Structure 1
């Protein structure tokens, strides 16, 4: 495509909700981390928590792909703060406010990257006064 010499209407979306293609055989669970592999497909919610995974948000709905890579799309919420479980073995404290946090499992964040075995989740934004074993995580 070449450059335009006239005004155009460029489609847009706010980025808070994003459709994401699922890897073949992947099942994703509402409310858990939405993570893709190096090929750009969402991985099964039971496989989350390793290195070389990219967190894009939190699943807005559960879905199952029984077909080929990308046959099913699921909706991801992002650009918000989400209430996630705080690790019991690598827990965040008030002094950690604002640091990057890492995925321990499909609903839990940890303070460290586990010596390179955990992927980035987002940024620690504080504790919840009602659910004391949970923390607010901002995911761009």
Structure 2
């Protein structure tokens, strides 16, 4: 592609939700972390919580791909703050405000990466006043 010498129309989207292709046989659950593998496919919600995974947001609906990789597309909400569970064994605390937090399971964040066994979830943005076992995380 070469540079343009004329005005062009460039499409855009707000980035609040993104379509993600699902891995073959993956079932993703509404409200859980939307995580992809190294090949860029969404993994099953039950497989979330390991190293080398990339969190893109939170699933806005459940979906299942019973076909080949990428045959089904699901939508994840992103670029927002989400209320998720705080770990019982490696909890985020007030001194972690603004720091990165890590995926413990498909709905829970932990303070540390578990010595390389957890992937990044996002940034801790505070506690909730109604739900004591939850924290706000920006993804």
Partner of 1:67: 67
Aligned residue for 1:70, secondary structure, equals: coil
Q: Distance in 2 between matches of 1:99 and 1:4?
A: 42
Partner of 1:26: 26
Following TM superposition, by how much is the alpha carbon of 1:4 offset from its aligned partner in structure 2, in angstroms? Answer: 1.6
Query: What does residue range 59-98 of structure 1 map to in structure 2 within 5 Å?
Result: 59-98=59-98
Note the alpha carbon deviations across 1:54-79, whole angstroms, 9 max, x for none: 00000011000000000000001000
Query: What does residue range 32-43 of structure 1 map to in structure 2 within 5 Å?
Result: 32-43=32-43
Give runs of ≥4 in structure 1 deviating > 3 Å.
none
Following TM superposition, by how much is the alpha carbon of 1:95 offset from its aligned partner in structure 2, in angstroms? Answer: 1.2
Q: Distance in 1 between matches of 2:12 and 2:88?
A: 41
Note the alpha carbon deviations across 1:94-136, whole angstroms, 9 max, x for none: 1111110000000000000000000000000000000000000
Following TM superposition, by how much is the alpha carbon of 1:2 offset from its aligned partner in structure 2, in angstroms? Answer: 2.3
Partner of 2:100: 100
Give me the CA root mean square deviation: 0.5
Unmatched 5+ residue regions in structure 2?
A: none
Q: Distance in 1 between matches of 2:126 and 2:4?
A: 47
Following TM superposition, by how much is the alpha carbon of 1:10 offset from its aligned partner in structure 2, in angstroms? Answer: 0.5
Unmatched 5+ residue regions in structure 1?
A: none
Matched, 1:134 2:134: yes
Q: Distance in 2 between matches of 1:91 and 1:71?
A: 37
Partner of 1:11: 11
Q: Distance in 1 between matches of 2:112 and 2:119?
A: 10
